[in-house]
Amino acid sequence: MNWMQFKLRLKGRLGFFGLVFLYALIVFGCVYSLATAGDLSMGRNPVANFIKTATEFARPSFLDVWFGDPAYEYKSDDGTVLRTENRQEVEHQWLVQLGFATWTTFKIATLGSLLGAILALPFGVLSAKNIKAPRVLTVFSRLVLDTSRSIHTLVFGLVLVGIVGLGPTAGILAIAFHSLGTYGKLFAESIETLDMASIEAVKGVGASPSQTFFWSVWPNVLPQWVSSHLYLWEYNIRDSTILGIIGAGGLGLLISEAVALFQWGRLSSILIVVVLMVTAFDAISRRIRTALL
Amino acid sequence: MSTNIIDIQNLEMVIAGRRILKVDSLHIARGEKVAILGRNGAGKSTLLRCLNGFVKPTAGHIVVNRHTVFPLRRERDLRLVRAQVGQVLQGLHLVARLSAMENVLVGGLARMPRLRSWARIFTNEETQRAQAALKAVGMAHLAEKRADKLSGGERQKVAIARMLMQQPELVLADEPTAALDPTAADEVCELLVKATENSTLITVVHNVSLVPLLSQRVIGLKAGEVVLDCASHELTQAQLDHLYE
């Protein structure tokens, strides 16, 4: 190996090792600063707490609809019965509430996604490199998209609750404003990766610009847009479950209630619903996406 | 009235200070079959793309089928020219997501009313012609198959069928057999020759053995200039050696 070869080898390797070293340095910095501040503790008895929580989680509250005590007694410390409750009936009512909350969450996610997609369209198109829109517009669109992407749905939600008040409207707008950024980026990417050969193929037979659009751009872009929409819709269903915590209604409301009252069994029921909903939606949207692409 | 389908005068193309093309005068008669030879980067494809306006030269005068392509007066002229110019290029030059049949129907777009073409509504006559075109290239059984699911040879056949649908007066073929195996290449060439019986055919060829099949006249390009222009049967090995050296 002569000097030239050695230099060539070193150059590529050095750069990569440099990056690895830098990364290791960052990780070490994080761990070290947390450790010295004593913030890396796991609490007083994590194992016992874990077992307790896991046990409560393992018995989701909806089971009470069938197996609950029809005359559950709440007692005070000296044994006096304060109140009897039909657990089956109470949980049945709560389950109905859960159903409605799920529906609200679904509505927030669906309308928020659609609104986000529509709002993102002009910004996505303008920020695509190959559209060659005026520089000012391109920069402005990118700025809008990046800003919306970097602000979390929850933050949007908090601000919007202050503006439009409590309820699903704030949730819908929060979802729309946050996913706008992702939608715009995906739209722009699908335009940037347009198959130019197929556009020339249609232009080449003397087709008008509108014909070229409908015969080449549209069939190229549409499946990708539908696919991104399904993907983000699903993502937003997950995202909107949390929105209730800040007062946008839906499952989040029940989550914050369950957490505040330490009702892990109910939280477990909610999480099962969320997982089922997301899994079902994912299965359906994946089928549609593979059929489209 | 010129009997030429192509008239090129003083064509020059310069990109970033480098001269790509310099053709003082080139005329191609209606119905002629011409092969363009030359090394990679000699300007063959660029010359072809100048003819249907996908590339704009720096200076000169290009007339294709009685329409001035350069300098261009109206965008509409370009569409009128392109409607009369079929192209069979290398690689996937089809709309990947559309079926073979739809890609053939693209050939008739210029003659279709706008609104109807947007909605993809076709008359019986149009679908029948497209079917006949697919049948002529032996692709009728794959009409419903998406273009990107077809093999290289099949794609070129669909491109030829699209050209049959278009019924152009001039056909530009840029290495139509590139990346095809010898059998498929022969098949595509034969179909191309048959499909262009009544029109002018200009082919960029890399495989010199295909020249007699595809052309009566050979134009050789070297560093953007025409250095060879003769009948195909007069082409000598010495000329080829000079062209490719």
Q: Is B195 a domain residue?
A: no
pLDDT of residue B75: 83
pLDDT of residue A71: 80
pLDDT single digits (tens) B145-200: 999 899 988 999 999 999 999 999 999 999 888 878 888 888 889 999 999 998 99
pLDDT of residue B92: 75
Q: Is A19 a domain residue?
A: no
User: Average pLDDT, stretch B91-108?
Assistant: 89
**What is the radius of gyration, based on Cα positions, of chain B?**
18
Report angle CA B207, B211, B215 to the nearest 5 degrees: 145
Q: Is A231 a domain residue?
A: yes
- The CATH number given to whatever domain includes residue A243 is 1.10.3720.10
pLDDT of residue B104: 94
Q: Is B85 a domain residue?
A: no
CB pairs under 8 A between A and B: 79
| Portion of chain A with pLDDT greater than 90, in percent | 47
pLDDT single digits (tens) B210-244: 898 899 999 999 999 999 999 998 988 999 998 88
pLDDT of A182 higher than 90: yes
Strand partners, A138: none
**8-state DSSP, A20:** H
Q: Is A2 a domain residue?
A: no
Residues of the domain holding A247? 92-292
Domain count, chain B: 1
The rounded mean pLDDT for chain B is: 90
pLDDT single digits (tens) A226-243: 999 999 999 999 888 888
Residue B118: list chain A partners with CB under 8 A: 210-211, 214
User: Average pLDDT, stretch B28-56?
Assistant: 91
Q: Is B225 a domain residue?
A: no
User: Average pLDDT, stretch B83-102?
Assistant: 88
pLDDT of residue B1: 45
The rounded mean pLDDT for chain A is: 89
The two structure tokens encoding residue B191: 């179909």
Strand partners, B99: B146
Strand partners, B86: B171
pLDDT of B36 higher than 70: yes
pLDDT of A293 higher than 80: no
Q: Using pLDDT thresholds of 50, 70 and 90, give the confidence band for residue A1.
A: low
A23 interfaces chain B, CB cutoff of 8 Å = no
Q: Is B40 a domain residue?
A: no
Q: Is B10 a domain residue?
A: no
Residue A210: list chain B partners with CB under 8 A: 114, 118
pLDDT single digits (tens) A40-63: 888 888 899 889 888 988 888 888
The CA-atom distances, in angstroms, between B83 and each of A197, A208, B70, B112 are 17, 10, 16, 11
Strand partners, B8: B26, B62
- Helix, strand, coil content of chain B in percent (nearest 5): 40, 30, 30
Count Cα neighbours of B21 within 13 Å in the Cβ-side half-sphere. Answer: 26
Residues of the domain holding B162? 94-167
Phi, psi of B13 (to 5 degrees): -135, 125
pLDDT of A102 higher than 50: yes
Q: Is A10 a domain residue?
A: no
The ipTM of this complex is 0.86
Q: Is B209 a domain residue?
A: no
Of the candidates B96, B112, B162, which has its C-beta nearest A198's C-beta? B96
Cβ–Cβ below 8 Å for A200 and B93? yes
Q: Is B78 a domain residue?
A: no
Q: Is A232 a domain residue?
A: yes
pLDDT of B19 higher than 60: yes
Domain count, chain A: 1
Quick one: A151 exposed, middle or buried, by C-beta within 10 A (0-12, 13-18, 19+)? middle
**Which residues 6+ apart lie within 8 Å of B83 measured at CB?**
A205, A206, B110, B111, B166, B168
User: Average pLDDT, stretch A13-37?
Assistant: 92
Helix A251-260 to helix A264-292 angle, to the nearest 10 degrees? 150
Residue A198: list chain B partners with CB under 8 A: 92-97
Q: Is A202 a domain residue?
A: yes
Count Cα neighbours of A186 within 13 Å in the Cβ-side half-sphere. Answer: 22
Q: Is B153 a domain residue?
A: yes
pLDDT of residue B2: 61
Cβ–Cβ below 8 Å for B106 and A203? no
Q: Residue B229: helix, strand or coil by DSSP?
A: strand
Q: Is A37 a domain residue?
A: no
A195 interfaces chain B, CB cutoff of 8 Å = yes
Q: Residue B223: helix, strand or coil by DSSP?
A: coil
A291 interfaces chain B, CB cutoff of 8 Å = no
